[in-house]
Structure formats: structure tokens, C-alpha cells
């Protein structure tokens, strides 16, 4: 059979076209078609594994939150308050007691400026539910305010605070409550808290672990919104105060706490009744610590957790008028 040339060319053309089309189809296809298929399956398997892990985590109970230490393991905070007789005395103690009651492991040391324990303070302490020690010592005549002297003319409650320090050091003399001083080795911190200041609960936890002397700002004192240490790199480098900034320790009585161990190690450290105005705190602290060793609290002394509030003297004009008429309020009603 004779093969026509045109049929040969036609066949050649068709085969070439087919080959060209095949080549065009192959363009753009991934070279390694089989590995992505394997990778996709692997990814899917990995994701399924992760989902089952997460589901198992959800079914597992959450870890218990860190428990606060048992109260018995906490250092004791000894709060020294020197109340004195005045119209608002009971109100002030009634107002500060609930705050102290919120603080675990707290021992309230009250030392009255009186010959002996007064029924008002004794009754209040008994009803407070707090662990307390009740002492009483009269301010010596030389330390009392003279007639016409302003209230800030002399340092107040020096004798009372020193008596508390003596009790802590084993001196005895308690007239009510817990009479035995803390046994040797007791972990604790001592804080001097006047009854008219305002204390947050947080303040007491800040001071609890004091190793030497800790400090923090005090609000509404020294003619300022707040007064307190200046801290740099976690160390006290100065004090933020406008009144007598050159004092060795220009802090308020409510602005520091002292470790009990330090007080016991330095038995001669006491408040000095002859200290000039504003230097009472320094008279004690300068015998205990160097300013550079102070431990800043309250977020490096940037938070105010205690305020030097002062209660106004109640207006008694009508009472005086009635008393002149022999019709004063029933004195048997304790206010």
C-alpha cells in the first residue's frame, strides 16, 4: 500500500500537537506532588492530637491557688497605741478597733496616760475581741503641756511608748489582757499607731516581714498631701518632706515599723522626751538603724496606706450652758 506523504505529515503534526499540549499541561504543576499530600495528612494528625490534649486539659481540675500561710506562721504585729482622756477618746478607739480586727496575728498594746486602767478603755478592750495588753503610766509633770501651750509644743506620749518598749523587753507592768511579754525568739514587728490616724488593712501586711526598720509614706502630714521616703533602686536615698527636711529621719510616727528582734537587740533604744519638735521619731530610729538600711514598703514608697487624720474637738457650747444651770447631760452615760 502506498503511504501518502500528507498522511505522514498529518500524523507527525498530530503527535507533535499532542506532545505540545501535554507539555503545556505539565507546566505549573508542582514537581513533588506526593509529599504535600503526606504533609497535609500529618498536619491534620498533629492538629487532632493538639485538640485532644486541650480537651484533656479542660477536663483536668485547675491547680489549687497558693494558700496564704497559716496565721500561726505569721510574724506578730505589735500595735502600740497611747490613748489619753479626751471627749473623743472612746470614739477614736471604737473606730480604730475594727481595722485592727481585720489583721491576722495582731497584738494591740494600749498604754493609757493614767494612774491605772480606766473602765472606758478596759471595757472597750474586753469587747473588741482583739488580743491585747493594757498598761497605764502617767506622763511626768516635766513632759506635760503648760497652760496655753499648743498641742504640738511638747512631744506627746513619750513615757507611754517607752513603757510599751519596756514591756516588750520583759519589763512587766501589764494591768490587763496578756500580761506576759513575748517569749524569746518571737518573730514580730512593732508599729506605733495613734488612735486618730487612719490605717488601711494593706499597711499591716506591708510591715509584717520587716527585718530591721521599714518605712512608707504617710498622707496628710507635714503640710503636704503626703510625706515619705524617696527610693531609688529599692533603697531609701532621701526623704520627701517640706518641714525640717534635715532631720535624721523626717518620718511621721505612723510611717515606720521596727522588727521586734532589733528592739530586743538594742535595749537602750528609746524615745527621747527632750527631743525637739519633730525629732521624736529620729530619737528612736537613730539608735536602731542607718537611713541607708531602711526597708521601703508600699511599692517603693509610692502608695499611701496610712493617713494622719485628726478629729476635731466637738462643740460643747450647749453642754457648758446646761452645766451652768445644773442640768448637764447625765455623766453616767459614757461617750
Partner 1 sequence: MGWRAAPAAPCLACPAHSRAFLPTAAAAQLTRSCGPSQPWRCRSGGTSSRLCSSCSPGRCWSPCGTRAPSRPCSPRARMTVVTPGARRPLARTPGSTACLTGTSWRCRPVQKAELTRLANTLLHVPNLHWLVVEDAPRRTPLTARLLRDTGLNYTHLHVETPRNYKLRGDARDPRIPRGTMQRNLALRWLREAFPRNSSQPGVVYFADDDNTYSLELFEEMRSTRRVSVWPVAFVGGLRYEAPRVNGAGKVVGWKTVFDPHRPFAIDMAGFAVNLRLILQRSQAYFKLRGVKGGYQESSLLRELVTLSDLEPKAANCTKILVWHTRTEKPVLVNEGKKGFTDPTVEI
Question: Which residues are part of the catalytic machinery?
Answer: 281
- Looking at the Cβ atoms of 290 and 319, the one nearer to partner 1 is 319
**Residue 99: its H or E element:** helix 89-101
Q: Is 82 annotated as a binding residue?
A: yes
Nearest residue (CB) to partner 1, 209 versus 307? 307
Binding residues for partner 1, rule CB under 8 A, total 50
DSSP secondary-structure letter at 142?
G
Q: Which of 201, 211, 277, 287 binds partner 1 (CB under 8 A)?
A: 201
Is 196 part of any known ligand binding site?
Answer: yes
Contact between residue 120 and residue 334 where contact means Cβ atoms under 8 Å apart? yes
Identified binder of partner 1 from the candidate list 15, 85, 87, 237, rule CB under 8 A: 87
Query: Residues 225-228: contacts with CB within 8 Å, 24+ apart?
Result: 226/304, 227/251, 227/252, 227/255, 228/255, 228/301, 228/304
Integer Cα distance of 110 and 242 in angstroms:
32
Q: Of 57-65, 71-79, 114-122, 307-315, which segment contacts partner 1 by CB under 8 A?
A: 307-315
The alpha helices in 27-71, defined as continuous H runs, are 34-59
160's grid cell: 507611754
**Does 194 count as an annotated binding residue?**
yes
Among 242, 265, 290, 293, binds partner 1 (CB under 8 A): 242
Residue from 76, 81, 99, 214 touching partner 1 (CB under 8 A): that is 99
For 199, residues 6+ apart whose C-beta sits below 8 A from its C-beta are 96, 99, 100, 193, 254, 305, 306
The cell 513603757 sits on which residue? 163
Verify binding: residue 53, partner 1, rule CB under 8 A. no
Q: Rule CB under 8 A: is residue 300 a binding residue for partner 1?
A: no
Q: List contacts with partner 1 (CB under 8 A).
A: 87-88, 90-92, 94-96, 98-99, 101-102, 198-201, 217, 219-220, 222-226, 240, 242-243, 302-304, 307-312, 314-319, 321-322, 328-330, 333-335
Amino acid at each position: 500500500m502506498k503511504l501518502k506523504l500528507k498522511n505522514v505529515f498529518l500524523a507527525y503534526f498530530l503527535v507533535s500537537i499532542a506532545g505540545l499540549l501535554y507539555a503545556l499541561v505539565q507546566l505549573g504543576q508542582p514537581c513533588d506532588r506526593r509529599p504535600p499530600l503526606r504533609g497535609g495528612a500529618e498536619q491534620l494528625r498533629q492538629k487532632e492530637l493538639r485538640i485532644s490534649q486541650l480537651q484533656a486539659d479542660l477536663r483536668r481540675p485547675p491547680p489549687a491557688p497558693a494558700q496564704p500561710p497559716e496565721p500561726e506562721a505569721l510574724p506578730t504585729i505589735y500595735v502600740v497605741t497611747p490613748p489619753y482622756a479626751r471627749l473623743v477618746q472612746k470614739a477614736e478607739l471604737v473606730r480604730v478597733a475594727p481595722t485592727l480586727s481585720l489583721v491576722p496575728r495582731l497584738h494591740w498594746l494600749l498604754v493609757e496616760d493614767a494612774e491605772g486602767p480606766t473602765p472606758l478603755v478596759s471595757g472597750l478592750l474586753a469587747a473588741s475581741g482583739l488580743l491585747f495588753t493594757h498598761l497605764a503610766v502617767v506622763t511626768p509633770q516635766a513632759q506635760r503641756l503648760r497652760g496655753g501651750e499648743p498641742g504640738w509644743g511638747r512631744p506627746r506620749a513619750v513615757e507611754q511608748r517607752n513603757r510599751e518598749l519596756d514591756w516588750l523587753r520583759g519589763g512587766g507592768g501589764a494591768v490587763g489582757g496578756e500580761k506576759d511579754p513575748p517569749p524569746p525568739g518571737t518573730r514580730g514587728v512593732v508599729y506605733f499607731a495613734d488612735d486618730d490616724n487612719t490605717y488601711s488593712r494593706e499597711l499591716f501586711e506591708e510591715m509584717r516581714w520587716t527585718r530591721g526598720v521599714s518605712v512608707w509614706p504617710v498622707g496628710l502630714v507635714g503640710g503636704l498631701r503626703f510625706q515619705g521616703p524617696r527610693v531609688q533602686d529599692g533603697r531609701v536615698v532621701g526623704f520627701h518632706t517640706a518641714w525640717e527636711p534635715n532631720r535624721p529621719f523626717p518620718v511621721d510616727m505612723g510611717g515606720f515599723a521596727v522588727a521586734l528582734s532589733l528592739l530586743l537587740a538594742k535595749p537602750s533604744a528609746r524615745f527621747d522626751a527632750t527631743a525637739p519638735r519633730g525629732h521624736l521619731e529620729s530619737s528612736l530610729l537613730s539608735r536602731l538603724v542607718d537611713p541607708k538600711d531602711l526597708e521601703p514598703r508600699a511599692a517603693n514608697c509610692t502608695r499611701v496606706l496610712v493617713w494622719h487624720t485628726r478629729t476635731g474637738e466637738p462643740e460643747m457650747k450647749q453642754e457648758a450652758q446646761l452645766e451652768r444651770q445644773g442640768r448637764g447631760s447625765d455623766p453616767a452615760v459614757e461617750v
